Structures are given as structure tokens and as C-alpha cells.
Structure 1
Amino acid sequence: MSEPPGAVVSLVDAPAAEPPSRPLTAQRVLPLRRPGRWAVTAVVVVLVAQIVHGLATNPFYQWDRFRYWFLRPTILDGLGITLEVAALSAVLGLLGGIVLALGRLSGSPVLRAVSWTYTWLFRSVPLIVVLIFLYNFSALYKTVSLGIPFGPSFISFDESKLATDMAVAVVGLSLNEAAYAAEVVRGGILSVDQGQHEAASALGLPGGYQFTRIVFPQALRSITPNYVNQLIGLIKSTSLVFYVSLLDLFGSVQSMGSTYPGDIVPLLLVATVWYLILTSVVSVVQFYVERYFARGATRTLPPTPLQKARAALADLRTRLRREAAV
């Protein structure tokens, strides 16, 4: 009810003024409590600690023999052969995969049929069968000739001289790798927006220029993670070349295990750790390659491990300063 004109309002009856609130900068923000997350984290930490403790204290693993064998010349020689076979097979397999992928996307029905048949065949046959077949190829064909079908041959090669252990391993892995790489490359090319193809055709660019300068660079963003995953599988597949008498890393471990049967477990651990190192290096390279091809496709590039560490350190310093101020 309003007061009559001229009335005097008592200060005692007036409502008390509210105290001023604290500024937002002085208020402490409390994080959301997540007890379930902390409980799961504690369980995982305990399990990991138990696994590490079991690996470190179990005498069955013979870590002293592991240290002895890890850098032995025999193991390092096998590691070098593994790297050589994997590198050659990766390059040749990728080149073959690109050719097969273009054949699958070609307008020629013959090229499409041949490419599809090759991919279907080598994806269906186990790699070990391919390697053993190539290793015994000289029993089927003593010589390899180039010439007119059902006619005279112009050049002949002695297959036994060409099919060295290294050649058999590289050719077998490359043939198998090309079939899988073809699908990876084809999927990457198909992932490029159709408007890019239409824009390039509208500009009158030649087909080869369209592929090498416009389509393929964009397709690499999709090809890279998938092919690196395939490359990791290739590194592990090199362990099968032991069956064609090539002493790679796994072959050297198997040979030393036969000579020293008491060291089989530490030798297998040596091979395991080296394969972990190789695949980890490939994964690091994959991260930086993906980051390179992500330029122009994302607003911000994913941070590198060093940048993540710096950001975490800066965040920790900010928290410590806030707590010290409070």
C-alpha cells in the first residue's frame, strides 16, 4: 500500500540493504565430483601395477638373459633384414595397390575384371601359402620367358638364379600387400568429394594432372591412417619369411631358441619388444603425416606430444597459483 503524501518513512522500518556479492574473479570454481570415474581409475591402476609387478618379479621371464640377447649381433642382423624386407614390400605394395585401384576405377571392363580378380585372389590365399608357393616356384617353371604367347620367346631367365631368399620374401609380401593396399587407395579416392572431380574437369585439366595434383593429395588424408595400419600388419607379417629360409628377426630368435632351448622365453620377449618398438615408431610417423595432411581441412591442427606436455605444465602452474592466492 502506498504511503500518503507527506508521510515520513522510518529508517527502522526500511528493509536492510543486501550485502554486496563477491566478484566472480574471487569466487572459487569447484569441479564436478565424479566418484565412479575415480573408482574405475583406481581399479585400473591396481591391475596395471599387479601386471608390472608380475612381469618384473617372475623368474620365469629371465630378464638377465633378455638383456644379454637384446643387442646381440645375431638379433640385430635379423632386425636389419626385417627392416629391409618391410621397407621394400611397403613401397612395392603401395605402388602395386595404386595401379590396382586405378584399374578398379577404370572405364575399361578388362582392367576392372583383372584388378578385381587379383585383389580377390591374394586376399583369399594365406600369405604363408603364397611364400611357400614362390619358394618352390622353380619346381614348376625352370625358366621364365618373355615373348609372344604360343609363339617364340625373346628373353629367358633361369628362375633358380632369380629366386633368392630375399627376392622370394619381398615378392611374396609385395603381391599380398598390393591386394590390400588397392582397397585402401580405392576407398581414399572414393572419399574425395565428387565436386572436386567436377571442378577439375570443368577447368579442362588433364586426367593425370587431376589425379596427381587434386584428387590424390586429398585422398591421402583417408589413405594414410588405413595404410599405416596395414603397414603395421606388414611388419608383423615379415615373421613368416622364416619359412622361406630367410633369417629375419623372428627367424634369428627361432634359430637361437633351437640352439639354446633354456632361453626360449627371453628370446621371444626380445622379438616382442623389438616388434613393439618398430610399430611404435611407425605410429609416431603416422601421427605427424596425418597432422601434415590435415592442414587446410581443420581449423586447428592436433597438438603434438610436446605441445600437450607444455599445456599440461602451464595448467598445473595456473592451479598452483590459484590455490596459493586463496
Structure 2
Amino acid sequence: MHNRQIGPLSVSAIGLGCMNLNHAYGVPPSEADAIALLNRALDLGCTFLDTAALYGMGHNERLLNKAVMHRRSEFTLASKCVLDMYDGQRGLNGSPTAIRKTLDDALIRLGTDVIDLYYLHRLDKAVPIEDSVGELKRAVEAGKIRTIGLSEMSAATIRRAHDVHPVAAVQTEYSPCVRNPEIAVLDACRDLGIGFVAFSPVARGLLADAVHDDHYAKGDIRAGMPRFVEPQLGHNLKAVAQFNALAAEAGCTPAQLALAWVLSRGRDIVAIPGTRSIAHLEDNMAAGDMVIGADILARIDSLFEGDAIRGTRYPPALQAQIDTETFPGECD
């Protein structure tokens, strides 16, 4: 797989989002299966692993330590702070003190002295972004992290953060049916020389032919996401069916088509799909060097115009934590 540049970091065009190995999608796989998948990803040329303090309440970082830290030289390691567990409860804290503790704990859980890319997972609107980034700047100076990232933040916030310390990467949901970064974030990143990391590039399974109804397993976050439940889901699946037909026409899986579309949007973009299946992992990694014709790419764009996808990305409480720009009427 070819590499792409994210700030000073060179990483595989398709990385691996590790969240669902411990978090958010029902019962996780066994530890042995998760370890096998992580090592298979490295074997396939994936050199970018993305985790966070929040995922599995620290267990995801511990999993990476056990599974692949003996292969540390083979991959770029990304993790996140601000969203974490505070006094036994999930919370948002962008204060320097909280960031420092989360980072120090993460280094212990990961079994490493340095994290290559460390994100502010969300914007804590109670703390000036300058204060939060200032703490990460001090962590860079202390040698605890190599580069700074931002997740789900607006163009205005990105520019303020970048004034404090160069930002290497911005991570936001981006797929053929989630286009919010195109409002302003991608332009800001390109103006400032910041790489873009697309999470949920197959739309949480919607564009991987993995969602057919809203009967989710207990603990699956999609059960609380408006676009993944009725009546919105039935409407959305009509566009998804057309997308699946385009994938068949292109001779690839729907997930591969979604990933190829994301990578086609610019050489400064990498994708980090997550999966629990080694077969799906292998399909995803194969999309890294896939070339899709301009006609099909244009038809994808047309397919998801207007209200082809209805419902917000998050329920109201979580949407309130998102700083990324929204389209007119998106959150009504």
C-alpha cells in the first residue's frame, strides 16, 4: 500500500481505527481475535493505528500494548485525550491538568515513552483551545508526544489551535454520505498544511452493506444515532442500495468503493476504517491502491446530494460536543 504524508508523519493510505475492538459496537471480539487482527493489519502493510483513552475505558490502549508494541517500529501510533473517564463517569475535560493525567496514564497503558500523534478528542467549550493545545505543546517539548492532532473541530478552532503550535492532523468523520469536512475544514487544513484523517469512512457500516435494519446488539451506539434508526434508516437505505449497485458495477465491495472515494478526494487524506473481521480488514486494505473511474465517482457524489441521508450524526447530547460545521437544517 502506498503511503501518504500527515504533517511530518508518513503513514499508509489506509490505517486502522481500533475503537470497535473494545468499544461502542456491542460485545467485543475475544482478546485473542483482536490481537490476531491487529497483527494481520501490520502484516498487510497498515502502518497507522488509531486508539484513544476513552475506548474501552483504557482497555483499547492496553490491548495495543499487549498485541503489537513488540512491533513498535512498524507503525505510527495515534491516541487521544479530553474525552476520558472522570470519577467513574465518561466526561469531557480539556484543562491542562486533565490532559496531562490522561497522557501520562496512556503512556503507561500503551507501554511506550512517546505517542506519535496525540489528538484532542473533542473541544471542551469550557476551556480555551489555546490552553488545551498549550498543554500538548508542553508534551511535545517534554518528548511525550511527537505531533498534535485535533478531532471533530471547526475551521475557526483549527486556526486558533495552529497559532499555538503546528497541528499535524485533523480527524473528522468523512465518507461519501458524510460531507461536513467539505464545508470548511478541508480548506483550512490545506491552507495550513495539515493532514486530514477520515474516521468512519464506510459510515459505521452503512456503506459496507452491514446495516439492513435497526435491530442492533445491546451496547451498539448506532441504536442511539438518528440516521441509523427508523424512520430515517428506511429512507437512507434506498440511497445505500444504489451505492451497492455502483460497487458491483465497479467490481469491488461497497466498503472498498467508499474507501477509494475517500482517498480520491486528495493526497492529503488518509482513512482509518475499523473492523473486527480479518476478511473485512483484508478487503479494506486492498482498497488502498484501488482506482475508481471518474464517472462512478461523480455518480456517487450525485447519489448522496440533498436529503438522500436523513438524521443527525449523533443524538443531541453528543452532537452538542461536536465543533465541526453542519449543513443548514442538519441538526433541526
Structure 1-normalised TM-score? Answer: 0.18
Q: Which has the larger radius of gyration?
A: 1
The structure carrying a bigger strand percent of its residues is 2
Relative to the length of structure 2, the TM-score reads 0.18
